[in-house]
């Protein structure tokens, strides 16, 4: 069973190694967020998704061709494009819009309205005129003698009148039925107005909550950054170590070899120096003895009784020690220079240097601790900043205004909806009255 410490260290090493591998292998220039786990994914839960603004769609019905016809008619009458500038001006400052501008835009409708008004006024007036004339016997048909052709003409006129009345009655009934159907289609939309307004208000009220949720989600990248910061210094250390490893080890081995060479050279130089000194002292001892011998040999050879000595005499006189060790270059200076070399052995120093190099990851953690702490503090400040930005966002100012406007619209729509019901009654009354009039005319005929 391995002690938990070493297990932890192994885990840390593995993680750092992975990080390093990632740092070295990722293509330069790209910034990829590697996802460590499901916890690091931003999750914006949909709050209040249950609140839905009901979308009402008009179902296709038999009235569609009628709608199309109406739209084409309206397009024919009103051909001007939507006056956005005018609308904007009217919304911003209703006083600034001149009546002539509106009339110019609505020219088609105005013309239609004029014609309708003229018709409404002219028709009864003309009828009245005829009625007056008839009552004074000034115009209209005169009594004629009863003939067969007259009876035929009367019947013809009666049929024409009945047909016209029937057409008018059918038109009124058609109009009434169409109006009833349109009302049936409009009703759900009208009924949904207060609900829609209320739902919209709820949505608006939930907006600040949503913003707070986004702010809360900042915790996820913050945690990710904090956890990344935890392994950062170690990974930086490992990265440095890994990138310099090959070069440093080679240099250390080289240094080790050089140090060995230097040690050997020093040893050789020391031996050389010692030998040279020994030889020089031996020569100094040899010198007087040789001089004594030479003197004796010269004296012996210089004897006149010695025949054929003259030729050797010269050589005897020039007898000298052949080796002059003072000519051997002195290594004293070099030795003096090398005396500065540390006495301790190089291997130990290189081992120490290697150890220091190998402890770069731990060293990086130690040296970067302050920087990491500063970054952590900065992250904490960031969270506060994000919160303060969210707080300073003038959301309530807007949402309150919108909510108030919605409440107002809701309140205002209530009487309007009641009004709609009242108009519904008017419609019935108008329809019934019109039909009754037509029926009355028919009956009178």
Ligand X SMILES: *[C@@H]1O[C@H](CO)[C@@H](O)[C@H](O)[C@H]1NC(C)=O
- Enumerate binding residues for ligand X (CB under 6 A): 249, 252-253, 256, 350, 354, 358
Q: Is 101 or 256 the residue whose CB approaches ligand X more closely?
A: 256
CA distance 430 to 183: 15
* Long-range contacts formed by 301-308: CB under 8 A, 24+ apart: none
CB atoms within 10 A of CB 80: 10
- Least distance from C-beta 347 to ligand X, angstroms? 8
Q: Is 371 helix (H, G, I), strand (E, B) or coil?
A: helix
CA distance 28 to 32: 11
Assess contact for 293 and 320: CB atoms under 8 A.
Answer: no
Q: Is 345 helix (H, G, I), strand (E, B) or coil?
A: coil
211 Cβ contact list (under 8 Å, min separation 6): 390, 393, 395
Q: Is 254 or 374 the residue whose CB approaches ligand X more closely?
A: 254
- Least distance from C-beta 355 to ligand X, angstroms? 7
- Least distance from C-beta 23 to ligand X, angstroms? 22
Q: Is 9 or 103 the residue whose CB approaches ligand X more closely?
A: 9
Q: Is 197 or 361 the residue whose CB approaches ligand X more closely?
A: 361
Compute, in degrees rounded to 10, the torsion defined by CA atoms 177, 182, 187, 193: -160
Q: Is 80 or 352 the residue whose CB approaches ligand X more closely?
A: 352
- Least distance from C-beta 346 to ligand X, angstroms? 11
- Least distance from C-beta 360 to ligand X, angstroms? 12
Q: Is 211 or 252 the residue whose CB approaches ligand X more closely?
A: 252
Q: Which of 260, 261, 263, 272 is nearest to 331 (CA)?
A: 272
Q: Is 141 left (phi over 0), alpha (psi -120 to 50) or beta?
A: beta
- Least distance from C-beta 239 to ligand X, angstroms? 17
- Least distance from C-beta 389 to ligand X, angstroms? 50
CA distance 311 to 14: 94
Assess contact for 202 and 432: CB atoms under 8 A.
Answer: no
Q: Is 352 or 383 the residue whose CB approaches ligand X more closely?
A: 352
């Amino acid at each position: 069973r391995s002690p938990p410490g070493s297990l932890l260290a192994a885990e840390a090493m593995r993680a750092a190694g992975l990080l390093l591998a990632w740092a070295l292998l990722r293509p330069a220039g790209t910034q990829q967020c590697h996802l460590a786990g499901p916890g690091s994914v931003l999750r914006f839960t949909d709050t209040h998704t249950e609140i839905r603004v009901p979308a009402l769609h008009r179902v296709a019905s038999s009235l569609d061709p009628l709608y199309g016809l109406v739209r084409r008619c309206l397009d024919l009458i009103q051909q001007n494009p939507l006056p956005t500038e005018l609308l904007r001006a009217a919304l911003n400052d209703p006083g600034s819009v001149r009546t002539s501008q509106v009339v110019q835009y609505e020219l088609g409708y105005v013309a239609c309205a004029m014609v309708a008004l003229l018709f409404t006024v002219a028709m009864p007036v003309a009828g009245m005129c005829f009625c007056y004339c008839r009552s004074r016997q000034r115009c209209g048909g005169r009594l004629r003698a009863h003939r067969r052709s007259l009876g035929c003409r009367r019947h013809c006129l009666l049929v024409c009148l009945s047909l016209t009345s029937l057409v008018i009655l059918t038109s009124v009934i058609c109009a009434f039925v169409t109006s009833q159907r349109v009302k049936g289609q409009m009703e759900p939309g009208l009924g949904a107005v207060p609900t829609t307004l209320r739902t919209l208000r709820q949505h608006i009220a939930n907006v600040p909550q949503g913003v707070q949720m986004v702010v809360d989600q900042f915790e996820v990248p913050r945690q990710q950054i904090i956890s990344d910061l935890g392994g950062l210094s170690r990974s930086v250390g490992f990265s440095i170590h890994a990138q310099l490893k090959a070069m440093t080890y080679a240099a250390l081995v080289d240094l080790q070899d050089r140090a060995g060479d230097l040690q050997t050279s020093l040893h050789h130089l020391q031996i050389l120096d010692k030998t040279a000194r020994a030889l020089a002292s031996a020569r100094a001892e040899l010198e007087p003895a040789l001089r004594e011998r030479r003197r004796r040999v010269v004296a012996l050879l210089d004897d006149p009784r010695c025949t054929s000595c003259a030729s050797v005499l010269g050589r005897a006189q020039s007898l000298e020690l052949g080796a002059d060790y003072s000519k051997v270059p002195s290594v004293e200076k070099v030795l003096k220079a090398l005396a500065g070399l540390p006495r301790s052995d190089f291997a130990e120093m290189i081992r120490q240097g290697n150890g220091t190099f190998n402890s770069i990851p731990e060293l990086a953690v130690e040296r970067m601790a302050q920087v990491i702490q500063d970054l952590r503090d900065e992250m904490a400040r960031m969270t506060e900043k994000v919160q303060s930005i969210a707080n300073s966002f003038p959301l309530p100012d807007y949402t309150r205004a919108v909510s108030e406007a919605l409440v107002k619209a809701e309140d205002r729509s209530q009487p309007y909806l009641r009004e709609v019901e009242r108009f519904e009654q008017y419609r019935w009354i108008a329809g019934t009255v019109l039909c009754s009039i037509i029926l009355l005319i028919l009956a009178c005929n």
